Amino acid sequence: MGGRITTSRITTQYCRSGRELVEADMGGSLGSGGDTVKAQASARRILIVDDDPEMRRLLVDFLEGEGFLVDQATDGAETLRRIREEHFESVVLDKNLPGESGLDMLPRLRAMIPNTPVILITAFGDERTCEEAFTRGIYDVLLKPFDMDDLLNVLRQARDYRSGSEAEGQPASSGTESR
């Protein structure tokens, strides 16, 4: 049980205890609500949110090569518009965006898509950022530069966790408790 921060083939677990404390304070796992119909419509569709065009292109090329359908957004407003238009299996969200940060927009994302795993990517991760991200309902954190296989593994684990929770009739959490 607990979250993790992943960076280029190294998993740093200094946030594990912070995630568990946050969950205990909130009375259980993070995330709630039901969007099973959305989950069925979103199979393998990923939203990449990053203002860096090179990073977006790198992520899109890799994930499309792995068979995902990938949409893109560059800021908070575009992200919210895309989420209203489409249903996604997961969202990969950069922390530093123009205008509103990825962390600041998380409460609205959680309200709109409570069972969709959101993976935070950042070059500026520390223990405080990790704790704040998990408190706000992030599924996992990847530190830039990260290995693309780490991203693929997190996306697969998020899909498996979400599918297992929905199959059991439980709302899927946005956390990593099943790891």
Domains and CATH numbers, the chain: 5-167 (3.40.50.2300)
Measured between alpha carbons, how far is 128 from 136 in angstroms, rounded to an integer?
A: 12
Distance CA 143, CA 127 (A): 12
pLDDT greater than 80 at residue 102: yes
Helices (H) and strands (E) in the chain, counts: 7, 7
Sign of CA dihedral 106, 111, 112, 115: positive
What global pTM score does this model have?
A: 0.73
Burial class (CB in 10 A: 0-12, 13-18, 19+), 32: middle
What is the average per-residue pLDDT within 83-105?
Answer: 94
Instruction: Return all residues near 90 (Cβ < 8 A) that are at least 6 apart.
Output: 46, 47, 116, 117, 118, 119, 139, 155, 158, 159
Q: Give me the pLDDT at residue 167, please.
A: 55
Q: Please, which pLDDT band fits residue 29 given cuts at 50, 70 and 90?
A: very low
Taking the mean position of all CA atoms in its chain, how far away is CA 109? 10
Q: Which residue has the higher pLDDT, 28 or 179?
A: 28
Place 124 in a pLDDT band, splitting at 50, 70 and 90. Answer: confident
pLDDT (0 to 100) of residue 158: 92
Q: Compute the average pLDDT of residues 7-18.
A: 37
- Out of 7-11, 12-16, 129-133, 171-175, the most confident range is 129-133
